[in-house]
Amino acid sequence: MKTVRLLVASLALVVAACGGPVAPWTAVPVVAIDLRIAVAPSKVALLQPVEVTLDLFVRKGIEVEWAPTVAKDDFLMTTSERPAVPLFDGTWRRTTLQLKPVRGPGELLLPPFVAKQKGGELAASTPEQRIEVVTSLPDAPANADLPTLVGDAVEPVGAPFPTPLRPWPWVLGGVALLALGGAFWWWRGRRAEVQHAHEVALPPHVRALRELQRLQGSPRATRAEIERFYVDVSTVLRVYLEERFALRAPERTTEEFLRELEGGDALALGHRDELERFLSQCDLVKFAAFAPSDAAHLATWQLAVGFVEATRSDASAPATATEGGA
């Protein structure tokens, strides 16, 4: 067994002689997990690289958790890792960290790196490492009022991260845009109200004749379509009576409406018989399941149109149903 171990160790030394990395162990480690560290240099300026070499030995049959990391507030880090190779009675893995300090001047601490056995209690760790971060500026001459640069001295390295933008200008700009948008929509609404106020309202007879003209071509093939036709025509006429003569026609039954008509406008009262005939026809269809012929549909429609034409506010001017609906 010793012969095999020495052979493996010799093989590792031969690989190193051919240009590969050299393992830090010259004899079999006494522990199942061993971790070695090397840091160079230990004194640097801001953003100057520090190389940390971590060598991990793990005995055969053991799995470890290994993910070295450092504080992001102290260092920028890049990682490179060589594949694990056989060494003695286990494997050897080398991980190289390149660290660039972003805080200083002063001393930065590298806490211990730890490799733990998965599901077990074995572990290995490195000692703490201290890295001194120095300034890039030369020392100021004695008794000098102002600092003087000497030789090829460079300016101090700027902040590694840009200063975050202040949010207040953007917030105030957004509030101003919202206020302008609200003022614009308010102005549009006011303008529309003014325009609407200057519009001339359509007379009741114009609206009624337009609706009746539309209903003339509505379908009347089924029972439901016939009933819909009579309900719509009746509604148009009742709304016209309310707007034209201030009669509460839409919310009254036929009998109630005809009684109210007795004390109403003389012009509407003169057409009482026509209104009674029209409303009765509509009631028969709506409530008695009466199914009139298509000729009766047209006659009912013409009765409504004729009443509106005869009682319109400008009745002195000749008009037809088609002209009123135009």
Q: What is the pLDDT of residues 187-211, one digit of tens each?
A: 888 777 666 555 567 899 999 999 9
Q: What is the pLDDT of residues 57-75, one digit of tens each?
A: 999 999 999 999 999 889 9
Residue positions counted in the chain: 326
For residue 88, which of 18, 19, 31 has the smallest C-alpha distance? Answer: 31
174: left (phi over 0), alpha (psi -120 to 50) or beta: alpha
pLDDT at 148: 47
- Cα separations in angstroms, 304 against 93, 154, 179, 321: 101, 101, 54, 10
pLDDT at 173: 86
Q: What is the pLDDT of residues 260-299, one digit of tens each?
A: 766 666 666 677 777 788 888 788 887 877 778 888 888 8
Contact yes or no for 151/101 (Cβ under 8 A): no
Q: Tally Cβ neighbours within 10 Å of residue 49.
A: 14
What whole-number percentage of the chain has pLDDT above 90?
A: 35
pLDDT at 127: 94
Which residue matches tokens 């998965």? 118
d(CA 41, CA 52): 9
Q: Tally Cβ neighbours within 10 Å of residue 200.
A: 5
Contact yes or no for 26/41 (Cβ under 8 A): no
**pLDDT confidence tier of residue 11, bands split at 50, 70 and 90:** low
Q: Beta strand 129-134 with 33-40: parallel, antiparallel or unpaired?
A: unpaired
Reduced DSSP (H G I as helix, E B as strand, rest coil) percent helix, strand, coil of the chain, to 5: 40, 20, 40
d(CA 325, CA 215): 11
Contact yes or no for 143/53 (Cβ under 8 A): no
pLDDT at 269: 67
Q: Tally Cβ neighbours within 10 Å of residue 305.
A: 23
Q: What is the pLDDT of residues 297-322, one digit of tens each?
A: 888 898 889 888 888 888 754 444 44
Count how many Cα atoms sit within 13 Å of the Cα of residue 227 in the half-sphere of its side chain.
Answer: 10
Nearest-Å Rg of the Cα atoms of the chain is 50
DSSP 63: -
pLDDT at 271: 76
The whole-number average pLDDT for the span 42-55 is: 92
For residue 282, which of 226, 241, 240, 242 has the smallest C-alpha distance? Answer: 226
Domain boundaries along the sequence of the chain? 2-10+25-134, 204-325
Q: What is the pLDDT of residues 121-180, one digit of tens each?
A: 899 999 999 999 998 766 545 444 544 444 455 555 566 666 666 787 888 888 999 999
The CATH code for residues 2-10+25-134 is 2.60.40.10
pLDDT at 149: 46
pLDDT at 255: 75
Phi, psi angle pair for 158, to nearest 5°: -70, 175
